[in-house]
Amino acid sequence: MKIDLITLFPEMCEAVLGESIIGRAQKSEAIEIKCHQLRDYAFDKHRRVDDTVYGGGMGMLLKCEPIALCYEAICEQRGTKPYFIYMSPQAKPLTQDKLKELSEKENICVLAGHYEGVDQRIIDEFIDEEVSIGDYVLTGGELPALVFIDALSRLAPGVLSNDECFTEESHYNGLLEYPQYTKPQSFRGLEVPPVLYSGDHRKVDRWRYEHSLINTAKKRPDMLENRELSDDEKRIIQEALD
């Protein structure tokens, strides 16, 4: 997976993406991420990336030309047209299913907006899809872009080790993850459920599945609304909620 990020704050983004699992994945070349300074593509007299809004109103908008030139330069460098995503609070909030779908793309370019947003002609003519990280508004698109790139990158082959595998975690199969415990077995009188150190793997798997269901029913019942539940599953949930 190759990701290009267009931003006014490439150093900040590189610093975040250079750490921990995503940093390691870049070094091992499981993913490639390049941050591009939008200002480098502003060629007017004052090298402006933003301007006032036609029709009046507060704030500034990102101008068309620097974004168009930057994206075209990325297309040239990559030898293809990356799927172009604009981080915007106007889109449907991101889900794990959407991330799974987007992780199939080999080339993605992300535009982190700033100020009041971006000229509509960029959205109409260049952007393939808008992505929001939730129904709230941040001061700029960098943090949303970093959240999105982190969540997307970890789905690329070779990014997570077996221990960090995403197939058992919350949201992967439409359920939240089961509770987990580490040593010691007893902490201030609080005990680890004995089945988890019984050595019986079938029982451990069964316990984990049941507690995934229960956890989801308690914390996110909306996630179960469109799921076909067996009588056994309904009973497990009912008993836990009683």
* Residue with tokens 């090298």, as numbered in its chain: 47
Nearer to ligand ADE, 89 or 179 (CB): 89
**Amino acid at the residue 96:** Q
Q: What's the chain's Rg over C-alpha atoms?
A: 23
Q: In what order do the strands lie in the sheet with 2-7?
A: 32-37, 2-7, 107-112, 83-87, 129-131
Q: How distant is the alpha carbon of residue 149 from its chain centre?
A: 6
- Provide the minimum distance between the beta carbon of 108 and ligand ADE in the complex, in angstroms, as a whole number: 15
- Minimum Å gap between C-beta 163 and ligand ADE is 31
Contacting residues for 53 by C-beta, under 8 A, at least 6 apart:
59, 60, 61, 116
Shortest distance, position 8 Cβ to ligand ADE, whole Å: 13
Closest residue by beta carbon to ligand ADE: 144
To the nearest whole angstrom, how small is the minimum distance from the Cβ of residue 133 to ligand ADE? 4
Which pairing describes strands 190-191 and 186-187: parallel, antiparallel, or unpaired?
antiparallel
Query: 134 or 158: whose CB is closer to ligand ADE?
Result: 134
Contact characters 68-107, ligand ADE, x per CB under 6 A: -------------------xxx------------------
109, 122, 133, 175: which one contacts ligand ADE (CB under 6 A)? 133
Applying CB under 6 A, which residues contact ligand ADE? 87-89, 132-134, 136-138, 141, 144
